Structure 1
Amino acid sequence: MQDNGAGSTSLAKHKCPNDVSGVGVVVENVDVGTDQSQPQPQVLSAPPTLAKKSFNALLVRYFGEEMIPVEKGLLDLGQKWGQWGRLDAEKMMPHPTTLARNIVEEGEKVMEVVGPAVAEAVRDGRCSSTSDMWTDSFKKDHFITVTAHFVNKEGSLENYDLFTSLFESNSATSEEIRADLLRKFSSIGISPEEAKNIEFVTDGGSNIRNALQDFKWHYCLDHALNLCEEGAFTISYMNLITRALDSAPEARDIIQLCDSAVREAKPSLARRSKKVGKGLHFSNWATQSHVKMLSSFLLYRGEIEERLRERESELLHPLSMIYNDDVKSILVILGPLDIGGDREKSPSVTTAAWPALQDHVEPDMDDSPMILAMKDRLRAELVRMEAVSLIERCKDLVAFFKRSPGLMSRLSTSLKQEVSTRWNSHLTLLRSIQGKMNEINTILSGHSATTGNLQHLSRTEGISEVLLNGLVAFLTPFEKESKRLEGEGYPTIAMAATSIRELLDHCAEKPDDCEVLAALRHEAATLLREKAALDLTQMTAAFFWPNMRRLRVLQQEDRDRVMANIRRLMREEEQRDAAAGGGAAVGRLARSQGGDPDPVPDDPGEQPEAATLAAAAQATSPLRFGSSYIDVDEEDDEVDSYISEKGMPYVADPLQWWREHGCKKYPKLWRIARRHLAIMASSAPSERVWSKTGLVITPRRSRIGADLVH
């Protein structure tokens, strides 16, 4: 149930001692194939009952709670119980069904304690949850996992793998996921209405997002960072077309006008001629596909203009200003990029298509300014293909070493292959090669001499050590921040704003960058702002990290939004106190703000509009975070006192400071902090469940049924 952080370690400590004699028990059937004069290991005819019960209990803990791999668990157990002599594993091991039943019973005992604690946290609105699904690639069984996280009364963060079980439906639709989650929460006393208090953190899968659309939901920042990193090394054809047209507004205007003309004329033309109707095509703006439309426009331009003239269309005059040569030149440049043209089937540029595209976007003396602008932008985008090509060459190199017997063992450390489903996989690949090029070339040279195949010598061609080192330096901060955000023993959400700011600063232009790294930084920064934009709750959580309480990591507009949100939450706390008999406190707050406190919103989960939040922050807070001077009145409330506190030391764990200091000095803020600091920045806790169970249930044990997994 609770993650104790167990994992695999070196097996060296499991080496058995040479002398295991002196146990002093009766043995039978000792088959000794060595010198009979030496003391021999002794095999018990019947293991003591105490040993067997203890052994079974340890198996339950190892495989049911800590999820230790079977082979490591058995070695650990053998070491622990060596005092009994040489145990007969067949007699010691319980029946698999017995072990599974004991694990389920132990889980039920734990849930009797954990369930009520989680339910109480949910009702108080201070519980977050992550969820993820996994599908068995062989049997196609769906599994779902749910974790729970909350700050207890002592101010410590508790983390639980709440449920991991077979998904009851054969189809993982949003409706089925929602129903399954509600059933699971109901089993521990959490009603569907109470479940809406939970702050869910998941990946961006459409089914899980739709399932949680009526709940509080946050996008996993580790997934967001992975998308940003992957996106920097991905050049999609759709983005190439979009950005080429952005750089040449005249070309976009021509496409839009031609598309509008085709759309207006096609219905009546289709009635007159089926051939013309079938031959006319519209632009697909969702996929940025325009080639078929432009080609059909040129083919039937006369018929289109005639029909527009009959309708006295407003499009006729601007259409007459478009030259066929301009349309043709746009067709030519978009052809190799457009899915409706002659591009490759891949949605992104491959290393195979890259050389031809480079030639395609080279400037020509006959190019118009419009086409030159488009080509300039396309060349700038394709610069990143240098990095993509290097990674592909590295992947091919590692694959060759892995499939060639004996080559990998000659290296000082093994090479690691990229795994597309793993975060920071590019970095793992590149780092395994970094600094080994001389060693790799020496091994390849010897292998070529042995096999007589000189082509092996060329396997490192195209791998620039300078660029490789630059890519490792570029990717390392992404790994650092993603690991920080995937933690579980501390409030990761408080670090979210700092992590994003660190990465944005890292992706800022550097004077000593080569062209490739400069392009990667620019693309990654663009993606960070787009895909890793923090929501209001994630930004607000940064306020409860004492060292970040002045929110300088945020833009001024976002600071104002956060402060307005904090003030709103404080008013809600005042009103809760008033409802509990503390009416005087509300009166003080109202007088300090020059009016009556705002009512609690009908929907506590509803987020105020940005303009309202900014105005409220301006009106209620005298603090200006952008300056080093802060003017605070002695009568200010907890918020201003907290912000202006002097001599606050650096704390790595915000909860430690709140436990030791903040909870007593700022009781209302502490109640708000408990709710925010329980939210995970990442769905990594549920992702880790599959990794941990994968160590126990490997393909070698794929015959284990889903009921036993449960």
Structure 2
Amino acid sequence: MNEITFVCDRGSNLLKALEDYQVVHCFPHRLNNILKRTFYSAGTKEKKQRKQKKESLKKNRNDDQPNWNNSNDDNNDSLMYYDDRDSSESESDDDIVLDEKFVELALRSLSSSPPERDHVNVLEKNLPPYAAQILATIVRCKQLCCYVKRVNWNPMLEALKRPTIKQEIIVRWLTMSQLLESILSSYSALTSIASEKGTLHTLPTIDVSTVVTINGLFLPWKEVIERLQATNTPSLHLVVTSYWYLLESVVFFKRRARQLLKAMFSLHDLHWIAAVLNPHTRMLKHATDVERAHAYCLVRARLVKFMEVAQIDNNEEVLSSTANSLTPPPRKKFKSYTTQFHDDTDLGETSSNMTNAKRARHELEIHLQLNLTNCKYLNDDIDNPLLFWKEQEHVLPNMSRLAKQVFSIPASSAAVERAFSSAGVIISQRRTNINPSTVNDIILVRSAADYLKTHI
């Protein structure tokens, strides 16, 4: 168990259960929480009060079909309070408290000149007008989705061969991107349907240009989350580059997301090791000199540890083979008294650690200076560094074995959650007494079927 690396979110139950083991936190889980905080969707006491106020307003409302496009102040307030999910119910323990010192360190590390203004601790009620307008646009997009579902216009969009309006779910921010993309693709068709039915005045109005801007902000986050949730290919080496990519990737929310990303996520040592072992990012050109030296030191230390374990295993095999042999031991040779002053010519036990360190440094230098123009891996479209290390296992044997060990660790716990989701579909109210082994067999068959669909 001590040799297993666990990948999970920051739930208190998991952290307590795995406190004695090596844990790498799920990167997409943290990205999801960063986006929730960026757009003020995390569960808070204010959210509960808003929901109670919204429910009381609904009870006092007599109109069966409200006018979504009324622009008075009361309706604008209700827009800001609108939410189709109680985010507090879906909010997990995967969260941290950001005090002033923590945020100040994050702002300093961004090293901008002049220093950036703190956007992390800005309250929703103190938002600048342009930022509040973006939140109002997101709320109207959610309203439009609820409206389309209530009047059942998605079948009409399918008949017109247009994308249906997707439902946003607070626990998965990829669905927010899907909601915005579906609205951009089908909003003109919705206005045509509403005009034909004479209900255009009840259709929530959407500022398409603002939706395009918001969707442009989500695109890099969507690209990163989808790639990191891969199941059948290595993903740990992408965490460092994805982190840099999102830091470089609507001005207020961009800065707020960058600051939250810096304050809420810390790169694990295994992330740096995986980035160095990735041939495309081995030089770490976006890292600082301190970060680069730290990453290379981590690789060398891990290589030395790897070699020591291999030597112990080899010695045990030699001892076991000699113990089982029937040949008598050779006669002991007496050495001259002058041999104690001779230079070391073999690999003695006293210099084994130094030798391993030299070997680790030598292999890392070869890796950093390796000419990649003739590597077949670079010609492949699949971003799989294991293919590269399969080519180099004779040139860099220890680093190749280390790469196999490191890249077996995923960057996300999405694969396990997919298995839990499949189990939830299998075990229903009518099938509560199903045998656990049968559940495992069904999940295996489903996984194999999905794999065959995508690879054949």
State the Cα distance separating 1:665 from its structure 2 match: 0.8
2:203 to 439, 453, 459: 459
* Residue aligned with 2:7, SS: strand
1:426 to 176, 181, 188: 176
2:11 to 187, 192, 205: 205
CA distance in 2, matches of 1:585, 1:565: 25
Call closer, same or farther: CA 1:199–1:478 in 2, change over 3 Å: same
CA distance in 1, matches of 2:399, 2:432: 49
1:409 equivalent in structure 2: 155
1:331 equivalent in structure 2: none
* Residue aligned with 1:200, SS: strand
Aligned residues: 336
1:641 equivalent in structure 2: 366
Question: In the TM superposition, what whole-angstrom CA distance separates every residue of 1:644-697 from its partner, at most 9, and x where no partner exists?
Answer: 1113442621001111x2211111112222221111100001111133345545
Unaligned regions of 5+ residues in structure 2, if any?
A: 55-75, 82-117, 319-345, 440-456
Call closer, same or farther: CA 1:377–1:215 in 2, change over 3 Å: closer
Would you say 1:676 and 2:406 are equivalent positions? yes
Would you say 1:214 and 2:214 are equivalent positions? no
Tell which structure's C-alpha radius of gyration is larger.
Answer: 1
1:692 equivalent in structure 2: 422
Is the 2:163–2:185 Cα contact (8 Å) retained in structure 1? no
CA distance in 2, matches of 1:235, 1:434: 22
Q: Which amino acid aligns with 2:385?
A: P
2:254 equivalent in structure 1: 521
Call closer, same or farther: CA 1:208–1:377 in 2, change over 3 Å: closer
Is the 1:222–1:485 Cα contact (8 Å) retained in structure 2? yes
2:387 equivalent in structure 1: 656
Is the 1:491–1:653 Cα contact (8 Å) retained in structure 2? yes
1:608-619 matches, cutoff 5 A: none
Call closer, same or farther: CA 1:532–1:199 in 2, change over 3 Å: same
1:666 to 390, 396, 400: 396
Question: In the TM superposition, what whole-angstrom CA distance separates every residue of 1:297-344 from its partner, at most 9, and x where no partner exists?
Answer: xxxxxxxxxxxxxxxxxxxxxxxxxxxxxxxxxxxxxxxxxx7xxx98
Is the 1:500–1:532 Cα contact (8 Å) retained in structure 2? no
CA distance in 2, matches of 1:687, 1:221: 14
CA distance in 1, matches of 2:287, 2:122: 31
Call closer, same or farther: CA 1:446–1:353 in 2, change over 3 Å: closer
1:437 equivalent in structure 2: 187
* Residue aligned with 1:352, SS: helix
* Residue aligned with 2:23, SS: strand
Question: In the TM superposition, what whole-angstrom CA distance separates every residue of 1:360-380 from its partner, at most 9, and x where no partner exists?
Answer: xxxxxxxxxxxxx99x97655
CA distance in 2, matches of 1:473, 1:694: 34
State the Cα distance separating 1:394 from its structure 2 match: 1.3
1:469 to 195, 212, 218: 212
Is the 1:537–1:676 Cα contact (8 Å) retained in structure 2? yes
1:133-152 matches, cutoff 5 A: none
Q: Identity of counterpart residues, as a percentage? A: 22
Structure scoring higher RCO (CA < 8 A, sep ≥ 6) equals 2
CA distance in 2, matches of 1:527, 1:503: 11
State the Cα distance separating 1:704 from its structure 2 match: 0.7
Is the 1:543–1:550 Cα contact (8 Å) retained in structure 2? yes
State the Cα distance separating 1:354 from its structure 2 match: 8.1
* Residue aligned with 2:394, SS: helix
Would you say 1:584 and 2:347 are equivalent positions? yes
CA distance in 2, matches of 1:465, 1:397: 13
Q: Which amino acid aligns with 1:395?
A: K
CA distance in 2, matches of 1:353, 1:537: 46
Would you say 1:231 and 2:28 are equivalent positions? no
CA distance in 2, matches of 1:485, 1:217: 17
State the Cα distance separating 1:414 from its structure 2 match: 1.4
Is the 1:201–1:220 Cα contact (8 Å) retained in structure 2? yes
2:101 equivalent in structure 1: none
1:148-547 matches, cutoff 5 A: 195-234=1-40, 345-346=49-50, 352=77, 379-380=126-127, 383-405=130-152, 407-411=153-157, 412-447=162-197, 449=198, 457-461=201-205, 463-506=206-249, 517-547=250-280
Call closer, same or farther: CA 1:458–1:533 in 2, change over 3 Å: farther
CA distance in 2, matches of 1:562, 1:670: 17
Is the 1:575–1:586 Cα contact (8 Å) retained in structure 2? no
The TM-score with structure 1 as length reference comes to 0.43
CA distance in 2, matches of 1:460, 1:354: 11
Is the 2:30–2:264 Cα contact (8 Å) retained in structure 1? yes
Call closer, same or farther: CA 1:636–1:344 in 2, change over 3 Å: closer
Q: Which amino acid aligns with 2:18?
A: L
Greater share of helix: 2
Q: Which amino acid aligns with 2:248?
A: D
* Residue aligned with 2:431, SS: coil
CA distance in 1, matches of 2:43, 2:11: 23
CA distance in 1, matches of 2:136, 2:420: 32
State the Cα distance separating 1:227 from its structure 2 match: 1.4
Call closer, same or farther: CA 1:552–1:667 in 2, change over 3 Å: same
Q: Which amino acid aligns with 1:441?
A: T
Is the 1:497–1:534 Cα contact (8 Å) retained in structure 2? yes
CA distance in 2, matches of 1:578, 1:708: 45
Q: Which amino acid aligns with 1:387?
A: I
CA distance in 2, matches of 1:696, 1:476: 33
Would you say 1:564 and 2:310 are equivalent positions? no
State the Cα distance separating 1:576 from its structure 2 match: 3.4
Call closer, same or farther: CA 1:344–1:232 in 2, change over 3 Å: same
State the Cα distance separating 1:555 from its structure 2 match: 3.1
Call closer, same or farther: CA 1:674–1:471 in 2, change over 3 Å: same
Is the 2:79–2:140 Cα contact (8 Å) retained in structure 1? no
* Residue aligned with 1:457, SS: helix
Is the 1:574–1:585 Cα contact (8 Å) retained in structure 2? no
Call closer, same or farther: CA 1:548–1:588 in 2, change over 3 Å: farther
Is the 1:497–1:553 Cα contact (8 Å) retained in structure 2? no
CA distance in 1, matches of 2:149, 2:155: 10
CA distance in 2, matches of 1:573, 1:202: 25
1:252 equivalent in structure 2: none
State the Cα distance separating 1:584 from its structure 2 match: 2.0
* Residue aligned with 2:6, SS: strand
State the Cα distance separating 1:706 from its structure 2 match: 4.5
Question: In the TM superposition, what whole-angstrom CA distance separates every residue of 1:337-364 from its partner, at most 9, and x where no partner exists?
Answer: xx7xxx98359x99637889xxxxxxxx
Q: Which amino acid aligns with 2:347?
A: A
* Residue aligned with 2:142, SS: helix
Q: Which amino acid aligns with 2:24?
A: H
* Residue aligned with 2:411, SS: coil
CA distance in 2, matches of 1:553, 1:705: 53
Unaligned regions of 5+ residues in structure 1, if any?
A: 1-194, 239-286, 288-338, 357-372, 507-516, 599-619, 622-634
State the Cα distance separating 1:589 from its structure 2 match: 7.3
